[in-house]
């Protein structure tokens, strides 16, 4: 039987989150984003060595922080330089749910010049999420014009 180099249920790039408290984190992602846990591999010491889950049609992976594998969480690193972009049908509801579950607002939800209503928050585990709902289809040329106008006001 032939082996697919990229398994059918995976994209070419899959975010892999390192957190302090992966068991708590997956419960947060289930509550806030409707995540579906697919697979969990606990380590003998109780930490989660590997966990796979879906949010919408996207697969993500997660594990507890493991210094022995050079896997540090944003909390240990003093923050994350990476932002995860999440598209949802109702940004206002999801954003409010995230804040209610302990996230910190970094940028409030508002309608943007590029046709999305979006806001940015940091989840309780230090990961940064920009959550958005498309509200208007904007051509790249129009987006460029709007960006210039937004910057000059």
Average pLDDT for the chain:
94
pLDDT at residue 5 greater than cutoff 80: no
Fold of 1-74: 3.30.720
- Residue 109 Cα to chain centre, angstroms: 16
CB 47 within 8 A of CB 66: yes
The upper half-sphere exposure of residue 65, i.e. CA atoms within 13 Å in the direction of its Cβ, equals: 14
Parts of the chain belonging to CATH 3.30.720.110? 80-153
Residue 152 has pLDDT above 60, yes or no: no
33 C-beta neighbours (distance < 10 Å), count: 22
Architecture per CATH, domain 80-153, reads as: 2-Layer Sandwich (3.30)
The beta-strand segments (E) located in the chain are 16-19, 36-42, 48-55, 58-64, 83-87, 104-111, 116-122, 128-134
Dist CA 84 CA 32 (whole Å): 15
* Predicted local distance difference test score (pLDDT) of residue 22: 97
Q: Is 69 helix (H, G, I), strand (E, B) or coil?
A: helix
pLDDT > 70 in the chain, percent? 98
Bigger pLDDT: 151 or 130?
130
pLDDT at 84: 97
Is pLDDT at 117 greater than 60 in this prediction?
yes
């Amino acid at each position: 039987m032939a082996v697919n180099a990229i398994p059918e249920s995976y994209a070419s790039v899959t975010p892999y989150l390192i957190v302090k408290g992966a068991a708590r984190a997956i419960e947060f992602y289930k509550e806030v984003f409707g995540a579906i846990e697919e697979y969990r591999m606990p380590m003998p010491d109780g930490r989660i060595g590997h966990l796979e889950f879906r949010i919408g049609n996207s697969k993500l992976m997660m594990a507890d922080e493991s210094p022995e594998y050079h896997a540090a969480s944003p909390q240990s690193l003093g923050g994350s330089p990476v932002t995860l972009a999440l598209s949802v049908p109702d940004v206002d509801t999801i954003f409010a749910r995230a804040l209610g579950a302990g996230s910190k607002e970094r940028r409030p939800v508002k309608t943007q010049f590029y046709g999305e209503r979006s806001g940015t928050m940091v989840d309780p585990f230090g990961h940064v999420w920009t959550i958005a709902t498309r509200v208007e289809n904007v051509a790249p040329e129009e987006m460029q014009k709007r960006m210039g106008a937004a910057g000059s006001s």
